[in-house]
Amino acid sequence: MGKIFTTATLLLTFLLLSLTGSAQDKNFYIFLCFGQSNMEGNAKIEPQDTVNVNPRFQVMEAVDCPALNRTKGNWYTAVPPLCRCRTGLTPADYFGRELVANLPEKVRVGVINVAVGGCKIELFDKDHYEAYTVDVPGWMKNMIKEYDGNPYGRLVEMAKLAQKDGVIKGILLHQGESNTGDTLWTQKVKVVYDNLMHDLNLKPKKVPLLAGETVNADQEGKCASMNKIIATLPQTIKNAHVISSAGCTDSADNLHFNAAGYRELGKRYAATMLNLLGHKMAQ
């Protein structure tokens, strides 16, 4: 009777795995990335950014990109672009590269990047985004349309797929330029963060929010004043951490980082995340 029971249990387990796909890998660390153009990626991708990408660093494509041979909802080695099909270099690129370089070999890293240039944080408020999108410019509506009109919904959709494969370990935010001077910004970010925690069944104590500063005053950043508001985010979200942009070089418009600036900012996101994971970045 014992052998029959054991055999039946093994067969049932095998059947369940067959139906649900591969079992969740606890060593597959997944990070959600969202925001506006600096998370979307504004700098031109340079040759150095497309080579030597460790296959342990993966991106889940959030839109269909036939020209890249990528399909929405599938994982690929994280060769940029990591947002939509024709976007540029982002902080997520070197965030992931640095993580896999400093985490144990058994650990893989996956990112999901849903971002829309020029948007306010209101675009990611699942209860009010429709009202916000009514008056946005046509070019932004075209970007939003790539996410079927609901970027937050697409982020959650992709995140739920990703949770079958791995564990969400953190959230990266780069947004604020379009909300410059908005003293309610931290509360609005908390609404989005809380919704993600609820909709993905995550625990705030285990899922930090890493928020990058806008182009710094030392680069004559046009929205640098927003950094004073971003600095207060940990007062509203206990597990929030601000990533300094000091010294990160920018483009001529003083709104976007250049490629070197994105690389440095991405490494800073990684250094903070590694510390939170109990690791240090190799010197």
- Integer Cα distance of 209 and 173 in angstroms: 7
Q: Which amino acid is it at 192?
A: V
Q: How far is CA 192 from CA 29, 187, 198, 241, in A?
A: 21, 9, 10, 16
Annotation says 125 is catalytic: no
Nearest alpha carbon to residue 201 among 239, 154, 163 = 163
Annotation says 182 is catalytic: no
- Integer Cα distance of 266 and 280 in angstroms: 15
Annotation says 37 is catalytic: yes
- Residue of 174, 245, 250, 256 marked active site: 256
- Residue of 37, 49, 174, 250 marked active site: 37
Nearest alpha carbon to residue 171 among 275, 27, 31, 1 = 31
- Residue of 127, 135, 198, 253 marked active site: 253
CB 102 within 8 A of CB 89: no
Nearest alpha carbon to residue 62 among 89, 44, 46, 81 = 81
CB 267 within 8 A of CB 247: no
Catalytic machinery residues: 37, 253, 256
